[in-house]
Chains A and B, each alone.
Chain A
Amino acid sequence: AQSVSQHNHHVILSEAASLELGCNYSYGGTVNLFWYVQYPGQHLQLLLKYFSGDPLVKGIKGFEAEFIKSKFSFNLRKPSVQWSDTAEYFCAVNPGSWGKLQFGAGTQVVVTP
């Protein structure tokens, strides 16, 4: 079955540590890729997106993601996290032309002071 996999369900790290969240998908062909973030008590917000071109995309709040087509991966990174990055992070894939998103299960990230 076609799917989106996020490697870690929970991540705990200290402020200033580097963060990398894995995302792999099983769809073939052209896909559009997204990372969404959900801060405590808030709704899903778009962090960054990839459609084509440079496989390294930059998003808001210092986040970036790298698309590696050969590995079917779209990993999210941030060099130095802050306490305010505590949130749940979702990888999403649009495998078709009309926009339906397939989400991963999410990764809960807790940043300790």
Chain B
Amino acid sequence: DTGVSQDPRHKITKRGQNVTFRCDPISEHNRLYWYRQTLGQGPEFLTYFQNEAQLEKSRLLSDRFSAERPKGSFSTLEIQRTEQGDSAMYLCASSLGGATDTQYFGPGTRLTVL
């Protein structure tokens, strides 16, 4: 069990640029979640995949944000035309699902938009 991995760990970009983050879940976990965490707050749900299907998106996820999980394994989160308000830690979690569903988190990608 290698855990959830995320890449990159840190990203600094200029306002208006596009960025893409990758998440590799624990193998055989069919559920994958994206959260965003800002300073002094707990993680906030962004979106969720069951295998390759994106089943829910938060209202926090504006149309500048898009996520994919094309083969039901790794996932990418893209932010287009970044804004300073997008600066945050982006967390990925995965789980097996079921009645005792438990999410395991990756180390996160810290985004700084200048």
| Cβ of B32 to closest chain A Cβ, rounded Å | 10
Residue of B nearest to A36 (CB): B105
Residues of A within 8 A of B55 (CB): 98
Residues of B within 8 A of A102 (CB): 45
Chain A interface residue count, CB cutoff 8 Å, equals 25
Would B33 and A100 count as touching, CB distance under 8 A?
Answer: yes
Across the A-B interface, how many residue pairs have beta carbons closer than 8 Å?
62
Residues of A within 8 A of B48 (CB): 98-100
Bitwise interface map of B from 4 to 43 toward A, beta carbon under 8 Å scored 1, else 0 = 0000000000000000000000000001010100001111
Q: How far is the CA of A51 from the CA of B101 in the complex (A)?
A: 9
Residues of B within 8 A of A82 (CB): none
Would A99 and B33 count as touching, CB distance under 8 A?
Answer: yes
The winner among A4, A32, A42, A99 for most chain B CB atoms within 10 A is A99
The winner among B44, B45, B56, B103 for most chain A CB atoms within 10 A is B103
User: With A43-B107, A99-B31, A99-B101 known to touch, is A105 a contact of B45 (CB < 8 Å)?
Assistant: no
Would A44 and B99 count as touching, CB distance under 8 A?
Answer: no
Q: Which 4 A-B residue pairings sit nearest by Cβ, starting from the closest?
A: A103-B42, A44-B105, A43-B107, A99-B101
Would B108 and A43 count as touching, CB distance under 8 A?
Answer: yes
Residue of B nearest to A38 (CB): B105
Residues of B within 8 A of A99 (CB): 31, 33, 48, 95, 97, 101, 103
